[in-house]
Structure 1
Amino acid sequence: MNIENIEAFVYVIHYGSFNKAAEILFLSQPSVTARIQSLERELDSRLFERVGKQISLTDEGKKFLPYAQQLLQTFQKSKIELKQKRTLPNELRVGCTVSVSNYIMPTIIPKLKQKYPDVKYKLTTAPSEEIINKVLSRELDVGFVRNISHPNLLSAKAYEDPIRLYVYEGHPFIGKDSLSIDEIGEYPLVFFECGSLDWMRIHRLFASMSQPPNIEFQTDTLETAKKLVLSRVGIAFLPSLCVEQEVKEKKLFPIHFQEVSGISLQTNMIALNGENGLWFNHALDLCKGIAQSIQDQI
């Protein structure tokens, strides 16, 4: 059965005349008539009653209409799907920072795989500057990096990860309504150092203290900082995503401290302008949804 004949039939019904359908389909009116007649021969049924310039569906036409609409919709959806697949590479090369690699990609990749089952994924973990350079040189298709701006890059905020003070089970801060910076500074601190402006703001919180804070441990990895807190050797300011599971299991506890409200790590998705837009937009929506669902639980 010719899909063009079905298309002509549906358009004649939708627009109420052969002439209007011909105009929309960029055909002549005799061409539309010929397609309808061909369809009627295929079905061995009259589909229209014609009285002068007026047309109406026959009983057979009314029965066939929902099937014709469904066939046309299915055909159009298949064209969109095939076009969509042609715009995607066989392999997507994704660059991400350590925190994204640990806490976001294990959730987002399976969802992308469901949406694009034929695409293979290659993940690279590196600092933001290296990822940016690799995207610019087309060694990576997309990247997850700190908030940046570059004229040759498409960049959009994927999520913001609030930084909060976390303590271990049984710590005296649990249940306290308010804390001062001096109280926090008296306890052993674990400091995660990543060099971003957000962490410099945490450092500045202690500038007003008469005595320097009791920083006993400094590390450049979130996992190490988190495990030191779990080991009860100190407390730490940490991004919320990295402790989501431990908070659920009540192994770590967020402590409200007004001075850190509004301090967060922003992660952006980047790609070269004009490239991988389809995947970029879908991954961005997924990432935002996942981050929000995690934040709602913390």
Structure 2
Amino acid sequence: MNIDALKMFVQIVQAGSISKAAQQMGYAQSNISTKIHNLEIELNTQLLYRTARGVTLTDTGNELYRQAIKIIQLNNETVNLLQHPQTVAGSLKIGTLQTAASTFLPKILSDYHQNNPNVELSIETGTTLASAKKVLNYQLDGAIIGGRVNEKDLESIPLMTEKLCLVTAQGSNVDTENDSLLVFPVGCAYRKTLESWLDSQQIMIHHPIEFNYLNAIIASVSAGLGISILPEKVVQPYIDSGAIQKVDLPQRFSTLPISFIYRKDYFAGPAFDKFLDGIKLLNTTI
């Protein structure tokens, strides 16, 4: 099997269609289709179901995808090792919560980059659910998540416990039955905590307004648009400045475990191992 054909195959799976993969890789669609067709002939099996909406994997295609990821990772690590035997090189794609990206993660990334300048770092923010799915699908090497994900294929390293609080506009009274809820998309651990807290009071989820950006939620809370649950460390500067105010939560809803997840079958090269060393140093409560 040709390594380039495997890379094309992986790109198609992750893009969801041959046309999108061709666009992303800068190849003609017909060229990629021919490569995949030849790969199917070589392996004497169908790898993809081609539909008007894109492609889906056959059972053998799914198995090849899992193995292709490992082959490509091993190939890249081998090339880096031979070309730069004394240097940690390669690429690393890490998912993270926006709150982590604005608090403890920058210091870890800074230290990592200073010690491993030849590693190409890519950081992607997203909800716990979205990041976990991408780790499972080999699209991320690992991710920082909130709460727990029960997946047998994932390894989880506890990092810390975040203290959470309810935030509202300065001087306003909290009206959980009528205030709009300012939340991240479905799959966010903070949103899940807010919904669980309201459910414990037998209050129906109402008026949810979704945001993709942490700063937009904080600014909207300050403007009186609604209430939200966020890590206390993240919002403390805004509380101190008088932009918003916090309300303590019942103990069972006031903390959230933060973890780092990665696949158990992940081929861990030096670049990932070095990052893991830094992430394991976190063992505090924020």
In the alignment, what sits opposite 1:204?
199
Report the AA paired with residue 121 of structure 1: L
Query: Matched residue of 1:185: which SS?
Result: coil
Change (3 A) 1:186 1:129: closer
Distance 2:88 2:176 in 1: 51
Distance 1:200 1:159 in 2: 22
Distance 1:138 1:235 in 2: 35
* Larger relative helix fraction: 1
Structural mapping, 1:27-176, within 5 Å: 88-146=88-146, 147-171=148-172
For the pair shown, which has the larger CA radius of gyration, 1 or 2?
Answer: 1
In the alignment, what sits opposite 1:239?
231
Unaligned runs of 5+ in 1: 1-84, 174-182
Q: For 2:220, which of 196, 210, 228 is the aligned residue?
A: 228
Between the two proteins, what is the percent identity of the paired residues?
Answer: 16
In the alignment, what sits opposite 2:280?
284
* Contact preservation (8 Å) 1:167, 1:229: yes
Shift, 1:237, TM fit: 2.9
Query: Matched residue of 1:285: which SS?
Result: coil
**In the TM superposition, what whole-angstrom CA distance separates every residue of 1:137-167 from its partner, at most 9, and x where no partner exists?**
5432221224224333321122332321223
Distance 2:225 2:246 in 1: 16
Query: Matched residue of 1:148: which SS?
Result: coil
In the alignment, what sits opposite 1:268?
259
Distance 1:225 1:98 in 2: 12
Distance 1:245 1:165 in 2: 15
In the alignment, what sits opposite 1:251?
243
Shift, 1:217, TM fit: 5.4
Distance 1:184 1:238 in 2: 17
- Give the alignment's TM-score, normalised by structure 1: 0.51
In the alignment, what sits opposite 1:26?
none
Distance 1:131 1:199 in 2: 20
Distance 2:137 2:181 in 1: 37
Query: Matched residue of 2:242: which SS?
Result: coil
Shift, 1:231, TM fit: 0.9
* Contact preservation (8 Å) 1:164, 1:260: no
Structural mapping, 1:5-20, within 5 Å: none
* Contact preservation (8 Å) 1:190, 1:229: no
- Give the alignment's TM-score, normalised by structure 2: 0.53
* Contact preservation (8 Å) 2:89, 2:116: no
Query: Matched residue of 2:176: which SS?
Result: helix
**In the TM superposition, what whole-angstrom CA distance separates every residue of 1:21-41 from its partner, at most 9, and x where no partner exists?**
xxxxxxxxxxxxxxxxxxxxx
Report the AA paired with residue 243 of structure 1: V
Across the two proteins, how many residue pairs are aligned to each other?
191
Shift, 1:269, TM fit: 0.5
**In the TM superposition, what whole-angstrom CA distance separates every residue of 1:237-276 from its partner, at most 9, and x where no partner exists?**
333243133134332222234x255433333211233623
In the alignment, what sits opposite 2:176?
185
Report the AA paired with residue 256 of structure 1: D
